[in-house]
Structure 1
């Protein structure tokens, strides 16, 4: 029943679009990867420096010392949807590195009942089929050190593939660019511009199958859904600082300002842009065990009495690292602390120096 409802919701998103191109798309690319980062509420733009930097800020890839592989899995909406990530990165030389990552966010085994009733009006359950709706994002990353000491840059080229069974599919392409700078006294700064070219998705819709579901007939009773989606640019500005106590204990504090060029419910909002902060902390012991916490997704939610209530999303996480193997866990969600279901996120990272 849950999957059937989600199927209806997915199709309603297509049906409900108006004459203009859809301005919000590819939100699955904004969820984030790596349980370590999610445990810090994604406030990692300034200091990310492993294989997952290909997602968070490709400039951080230049800090790789060897090839790395990362895997992540999480489930959302009471395990209806699955979110998976795999990433691989390697240094080219002492000044540059490359990376490749794949993200899949999908719902599988959805019941297709469009053929349930045959031409004679009889119900035939053998005519029920299963299909999947899935979003894919493939990212190619390149990073390089600049002649200025401590300054690095990175670029992402993204290919987007979205599929709703045999009913509709889309292709998209976009670019990201990031910068990192490491200053004195263990201060680090980062800047990440996502979808700087404004990513476009072009949909191909099977009009015959779509009309079977919605009853829409182009030119008669309803227009077909708009076939173009636009992903507007977003900026992430970050800063972080680390401390060492008694040689064995470390503390990392990080802050992000996430900027979207649209009026939203973010804590700072205008017709030009909206800004939401994110705070993250990581406490480590001998580079072996880590405890993480973060606050993010600050929103001004409108209440029934027209008043506004500030909400936020707390995240927690733990990690274990030993001889090139790192296992992380985060307790997080993709909404706020009062409305969304929390998810358990697991990730694994392997440093190939382990095998040398």
Structure 2
């Protein structure tokens, strides 16, 4: 059953190509990194300020004081798919910083049983092959403080690499831009524009291998997919504030509005744009232990009787920080609160200042 599901996934991925912009394209780049952020339902656009800012809002990189390294691993769909991330950032001077991050989302060691039966109708296990499908995202980040106190900006240049066995592969390129502002009363605001010029993917398809996996024959029973696709821009607006109680206790509250410029199932949906809110909280004790919770991904799901049901995605997390080492865990639902598809996400962040 696992093999059939994976083969179906590959065929659907291949047939989704097109020369027009897609509602959902390069979605692996939208899953998110850092268990601390995922525990707050990704509502971190305004206050992210470490190595993981290269993903969430590159403007936050200017707040790092030394080199930082981050690692994350999570598994999805009963450990069928693995999501891995590594990020590195360092300050250039007291006003600017750079970062580099790599994301891989893939399914490995898939059994290709499409050629299991030979021309004579005999089962031949020697005809089973193994392949993998994987998506890679490499992001180069630059951030700088502006002359206005509390205002920072950052930009990302992204390279996308997608590989589906021997059947198809693609290269893509795109840009992100972000801004953060911190007011005198400790309110933080952030704007993150993803794929601001639309991200363009160019595919190369092996027609012979594609015919084997899908049964499609160009010009007979199916036209082969187009070889280019565009990822539409997305806009994230965030605000947050942190309060301190009795010196040792802190409470961080954050709110995001995430907009796609396409009509989707988001709670607010029009032909121009669709918007979904996200809310996150973090309770901290002596900057050592953190408890997190969040809710987001509000969707109007169409039911079989044509009625709509509002769903949302709950997230929870904990974190431990000692000197420059931070270990975080998130328990997150990849769909909504009605499905039992929960994932365990772990991440580690190291501040190199602990070695000095």
1:271 maps to 271
Q: Is the 1:73–1:85 Cα contact (8 Å) retained in structure 2? A: yes
SS at match of 2:44: coil
1:46 maps to 46
Separation of aligned partners in 2, 1:270 and 1:122: 54
Separation of aligned partners in 1, 2:150 and 2:90: 20
Q: Is the 2:17–2:229 Cα contact (8 Å) retained in structure 1? A: no
Separation of aligned partners in 2, 1:17 and 1:151: 40
Q: Is the 2:114–2:212 Cα contact (8 Å) retained in structure 1? A: yes
The CA deviation at 1:293 is 0.4
Separation of aligned partners in 2, 1:159 and 1:196: 14
The CA deviation at 1:219 is 2.1
Q: Is the 1:23–1:229 Cα contact (8 Å) retained in structure 2? A: no
1:318 maps to 318
SS at match of 1:209: helix
SS at match of 1:154: strand
The CA deviation at 1:213 is 2.4
The CA deviation at 1:115 is 3.4
Structure 1, unmatched stretches of 5+, are none
1:216 maps to 216
SS at match of 1:193: strand
Cα RMSD of the aligned pairs, angstroms, is 1.4
Write out aligned runs for 1:155-166 (5 A): 155-166=155-166
Q: Is the 2:19–2:230 Cα contact (8 Å) retained in structure 1? A: no
1:146 maps to 146
SS at match of 2:45: coil
TM-score, normalised with respect to structure 2: 0.97
Distance 1:352 1:9, change over 3 A: same
The CA deviation at 1:126 is 1.6
The CA deviation at 1:23 is 4.8
The CA deviation at 1:21 is 6.0
> How many residues are matched?
356
SS at match of 1:287: coil
1:207 maps to 207
Q: Which moved more, 1:199-208 or 1:307-316?
A: 307-316
Q: Is the 1:237–1:258 Cα contact (8 Å) retained in structure 2? A: yes
Q: Is the 2:20–2:229 Cα contact (8 Å) retained in structure 1? A: no
1:84 maps to 84
User: Is 1:349 aligned to residue 354 of structure 2?
Assistant: no
Distance 1:19 1:188, change over 3 A: closer
Distance 1:76 1:253, change over 3 A: same
Q: Is the 2:17–2:228 Cα contact (8 Å) retained in structure 1? A: no
1:235 maps to 235
2:288 maps to 288
CA deviation profile, 1:64-98 (whole Å, cap 9, x unmatched): 01100000000000110000000000000000000
Distance 1:21 1:39, change over 3 A: closer
Q: Is the 1:216–1:224 Cα contact (8 Å) retained in structure 2? A: yes
Q: Is the 1:21–1:227 Cα contact (8 Å) retained in structure 2? A: no
TM-score, normalised with respect to structure 1: 0.97
The CA deviation at 1:8 is 2.1
1:111 maps to 111
Separation of aligned partners in 1, 2:187 and 2:138: 32
Q: Is the 2:252–2:283 Cα contact (8 Å) retained in structure 1? A: yes
SS at match of 2:54: helix
Q: Which moved more, 1:194-203 or 1:338-347?
A: 338-347
Separation of aligned partners in 2, 1:131 and 1:22: 27
After superposing on structure 2, the runs of 4+ consecutive aligned residues of structure 1 that deviate more than 3 Å are 15-23, 117-122
Q: Is the 2:18–2:229 Cα contact (8 Å) retained in structure 1? A: no
2:128 maps to 128
Q: Is the 2:19–2:229 Cα contact (8 Å) retained in structure 1? A: no
The CA deviation at 1:12 is 2.8
Separation of aligned partners in 1, 2:144 and 2:18: 43
2:302 maps to 302
1:198 maps to 198
Separation of aligned partners in 1, 2:242 and 2:21: 44
